[in-house]
A and B are shown apart, each in its own frame.
Chain A
């Protein structure tokens, strides 16, 4: 915060607005922070057990935080099979779901029970997502293939080779 107050506008001018009418530094610089969270990386709290044992395992007492990468999805549309992604729920725009991409357009998937067909070909521009815990998940087996435009961000892979992992 000391860094922000040093950058405050009009600090060195004597002829500017009186001190009480200046915009506080935190508000003045908030667009930078908001745009960073909107375009690059955000931290999200993950709830629910559909991604066990990868996320929210029973051994953990707290819910997991995830560092989600928006840049590669928004700007490059770079998603692959195996990525864990945050998706806006196709049924309710206010909800987000976290699932793993199993198949991308053109692939053929063998489905699990709630789905009516035994095999499905994923249509153009869609992905097939499933939770890691196939018993407690609301995924493509019920919702069908999901439009890739609904993918909002993906869980960043850390520099450690595996998934980014930090649990309190």
Chain B
């Protein structure tokens, strides 16, 4: 048999089966129909909850916007992979140079993306450019806190403005960019002896 004829016949048969099933469903009593519809609604809600929980505990893709990470991330239209599992698993396992997203200490409804500069106990220079603080001013990062900074120092509001931020504010680590190109973010820090 010619494949086209076969496909047409198969489609027609499956359509007939579907119409038959629909007729059968509509001829059922009202209570049964309500039960089936209600159960499907429950299943849909359940699936949405499962997706939400995956995004909350394992990881998600998210759209980035803003000028503060300019050479690394463009100011709009980039999609990145956020890894939340490693932060949930080990909340203090953050290294210098990691890209992180965190809840803004200035506005709880905002999420910001920055690079980690200093870990607890490090001595950091508040602002090497001397614009927001004298370039000789140094600070010790307190216990449980991080020093964060945007890659685009001129257009970033970061620890230079609000000081060290709590590690508890950290939401996720940025692992890769998937749109417009695929890039895996590697830790760029090199240590000098």
Name which of B74-82, B99-107, B133-141 contacts chain A.
B99-107
- Interface flag for A164 (CB, 8 Å): no
- Interface flag for A1 (CB, 8 Å): no
- Interface flag for B10 (CB, 8 Å): no
Q: Which residues of B41-100 have CB atoms within 8 Å of chain A's CB atoms?
A: 42-43, 45-47, 49-50, 52-53, 56, 91-92
What is the total number of residues of chain A having a CB less than 8 Å from a CB of chain B? 26
Contact partners of B39 in chain A: CB under 8 A? 7
Residue pair B143, A32 in contact (C-beta under 8 Å): no
Using CB atoms, name the residue of chain B closest to A87: B168
- Interface flag for A148 (CB, 8 Å): yes
Q: How large is the interface on B (under 10, 10 to 19, 20 to 34, 35 or more residues)?
A: 20 to 34
Q: A77's contact among B46, B108, B170, by CB below 8 Å, is which? A: B108
- Interface flag for A112 (CB, 8 Å): no
Q: A93's contact among B42, B91, B109, by CB below 8 Å, is which? A: B91
Residue pair A125, B104 in contact (C-beta under 8 Å): yes
Residue pair A32, B166 in contact (C-beta under 8 Å): no
Contact partners of B128 in chain A: CB under 8 A? none
- Interface flag for B167 (CB, 8 Å): yes
Residue pair B42, A149 in contact (C-beta under 8 Å): no
Given contacts A93-B92, A149-B108, contact A34 B168 (CB under 8 A): no
Using CB atoms, name the residue of chain A closest to B88: A93
Contact partners of B143 in chain A: CB under 8 A? 91
Q: B104's contact among A29, A93, A123, A149, by CB below 8 Å, is which? A: A149
**Cβ of A52 to closest chain B Cβ, rounded Å:** 25
- Interface flag for B130 (CB, 8 Å): no
**Cβ of B89 to closest chain A Cβ, rounded Å:** 11
- Interface flag for A159 (CB, 8 Å): no
Residue pair B46, A31 in contact (C-beta under 8 Å): yes
Using CB atoms, name the residue of chain B closest to A88: B168
Using CB atoms, name the residue of chain A closest to B167: A93
Instruction: Provide 9 A-B residue pairs closer than 8 Å at the C-beta atoms, listed in order of the A residue.
Output: A9-B43, A32-B45, A88-B168, A89-B168, A92-B144, A94-B91, A124-B107, A147-B108, A149-B169
Cβ-closest 9 pairs across A and B: A149-B103, A91-B144, A93-B91, A35-B49, A90-B166, A31-B50, A149-B108, A31-B49, A125-B106
Residues of B with Cβ closer than 8 Å to A?
A: 39, 42-43, 45-47, 49-50, 52-53, 56, 91-92, 103-109, 143-145, 162, 165-170
